[in-house]
Amino acid sequence: MAIDPTDIQIPGHRILRKLGGGGMANVYLAFQESIEREVALKIMRPELGASDPSFGQRFVREAKIIAKLSHPHINAVYDVGVAGPYQYFTMEYITGGDLKKRIRQGMSPKAVLSILRQITSALAFAHSKGYVHRDVKPENVLFRDNDTPVLTDFGIAKTSDAVTSMTATGAILGTPYYMSPEQTTGLAIDHRSDLYSLGAMAFEMFTGAVPYNADSAIAIYFKHFHDPLPQLPPPLQAYQPLLDKFLAKDPAHRFQSGDEAMAAIDAVATGASALAVPAGNVAVDRAVASAPTVAIGTRQAKSYRGALVAIAVSVPLIAGGAYLALRKPAAPVQVAAAPAPVPASEPASAPATVTRNEAPKQRAPARPPQVAARAPKQAVARVEDPREQKVQDLLSRFQELVAPGSISATRAGRAQDVLDEAKRLAPEDSRVRALPGRLADAYLELATVKADEKNYQESDTLIRRGLELKPDHRQLQALQKDIAEKQKTKRRTFGTF
């Protein structure tokens, strides 16, 4: 029986309308009366908790996981609680639609790489905290009004110390179109499974179609495990090695971390260097795709044969799992292919040629005349010490993003990405080691504005982000204490009525 939203009573919140729902919970647009803002209110279906307490535990765990993941590209949790029969938590209300909609409209390579990079950053952060998402897909990437992508729905996330893709009842969790071979077969998974799902999502962003499709979940699973990766159309061939690396059948042949994946995305996007797939990786994965027991080591062969057996055994389990209801993927759309993928913050330049082991080298697209005219000068400036030049570029970009008076939550998120890249390139550089404190100052500026607006929840979130960068930041600590006192006073005042 459907529940009328007006019958649901959550203290301090006025439900406006239903936004969507799934098998476990419904999401409503609600007005948080204490600080007068709209929030996304996620409420678990009461009948689930009544029939099985584990559903409630999983629901609360999702809220706690997201609350620990304070990152510009992960949706923020504001509150969690219980009101009568309803378990709920409130999140940032994100209004810019989801990635699936943008894929249907067609995406340029530049947009694909930008979104891919930002969501990879979110996953890298979640992985660093010990969590594997397990359901990376376009529907779980939402956009703020300023076009910032945000990763959502950690409902089936697991800690990475003991992760498998099957529940105690044997139902495989995830969405078939994006699941890694090891996830589809019930084998143990880790953060590299998320990177595979991210690669499947990237393929769909580039082409408008999922990499593997069939009439049933089990057939899709088999394709992920067995079929070679479809090739991108000729205008997009420069990105094929990147997808080959994301979507390697064997986890050992994929990117081994989100940081490694981000570095490869940056290299392809800026043309700073070519992405080379290590020798043997593609060959081995294609050997597995064509004959699972041939051309791989004995130990691997046994693992893959066991995986095939697991697929066969899981057929009756899949049939009973409501979570695996297939949704028809978007039909292929015309992709607006750009000759050179360039992030918004970088000047236009031709990408370096991206090569594959088994394919002939491709000639880089010709540069526009005005760029070609500048190229010799840039080459002279960078040839002496490319790493130092890159660090200087990152430092300049960072200072531009956090300039006083111009900072915003979006710019702070971009500055964090720049900081991460600078630390990867030159972790011991004194200029780079000073950046966390500068970004913490920027978060102080943002948090102070929110506090002045009496938006204490968001101010506290910004303060925590700043303290993660610089735990001994005295001004942030003082503001956090001041906000805590104001909230305590506010609660005492409301309690007198």
Q: 56, 80, 57: which is closest to 68 by C-alpha? A: 80
Contact of 188 with 210, CB cutoff 8 Å: no
**In this predicted model, which residue has the larger pLDDT, 95 or 344?**
95
pLDDT at 441: 86
Tell me which residue of 193, 97, 188, 85 sits closest to 139, measured CA to CA: 97
pLDDT in tens, 313-356: 444 344 334 333 344 444 443 434 444 443 433 333 333 333 33
Residue 155: per-residue pLDDT: 55
Q: Please report the DSSP string for 346-359 in residue order.
A: S---PPPPP--TTS
- CB-CB contact of 174 with 165 (8 Å): yes
- 243, 356 Cβ separation under 8 angstroms: no
The tokens of 205 are what? 């962003």
Name the residue among 306, 326, 307, 327 with its Cα closest to residue 318.
326
| Percent of the chain clearing pLDDT 90 (strictly above) | 29
Q: Which of 74-83, 105-114, 160-169 is the most confident on average?
A: 105-114
Judge whether residue 204 has pLDDT over 80.
yes
Please give the residue that has the higher pLDDT: either 106 or 371. Answer: 106
Instruction: Assign a CATH topology to domain 386-495.
Output: 1.25.40
Q: Which phi-psi region, left, alpha or beta, contains residue 342 (left: φ > 0; alpha: ψ -120 to 50)?
A: beta
- Segment 159-187 shows an average pLDDT of 62
The residues assigned a catalytic role are 135
Phi, psi at residue 396, to the nearest 5°?
-65, -45
Query: Tell me: the pLDDT tens digits for 442-474?
Result: 888 888 888 887 888 888 889 988 899 999 888
In this prediction, residue 357 carries a pLDDT of: 39
pLDDT tens digits for range 30-77: 999 988 899 999 888 887 766 666 677 777 776 777 777 778 899 888
Q: Which CATH superfamily is domain 99-324 in?
A: Transferase(Phosphotransferase) domain 1 (1.10.510.10)
Q: DSSP for 75-109?
A: PPEEEEEEETTEEEEEEE---S-BHHHHHHH---H
Sign of the torsion formed by the C-alpha atoms of 404, 410, 413 and 415? negative
What confidence score (pLDDT) does residue 106 get?
94
- Residue 257: how many CB atoms within 10 A of its CB? 17
Which CATH code of 3.30.365.10, 3.40.50.300, 3.30.200.20, 2.40.10.120 fits the domain covering 5-92?
3.30.200.20
Residues in the chain: 497
Write out the DSSP string of 374-419.
HHHHHHHHHHS-HHHHHHHHHHHHHHHHT-TTT--HHHHHHHHHHH
Contacts of 417 (CB under 8 A, 6+ apart): 117, 118, 121
The residue-averaged pLDDT of 93-115 equals 94
Beta bridge partners of 81: 88
- The separation between CA 195 and the C-alpha centre of its own chain, rounded to angstroms, equals 9
What does the domain layout of the chain look like in residue ranges? 5-92, 99-324, 386-495
Q: 358 with 283: CB under 8 angstroms?
A: yes
pLDDT at 10 over 80: yes
Contacts of 88 (CB under 8 A, 6+ apart): 10, 41, 42, 43, 44, 80, 81, 82
Q: Which two tokens stand for residue 191?
A: 């953060």
Question: What's the number of CA atoms in the CB half-sphere (13 Å) around residue 19?
Answer: 19
Tokens coding 414? 């971009």
The confidence score (pLDDT) of residue 54 equals 67
pTM: 0.56
> Which residues, 6 or more positions from 461, have their beta carbon under 8 angstroms from its beta carbon?
70, 76
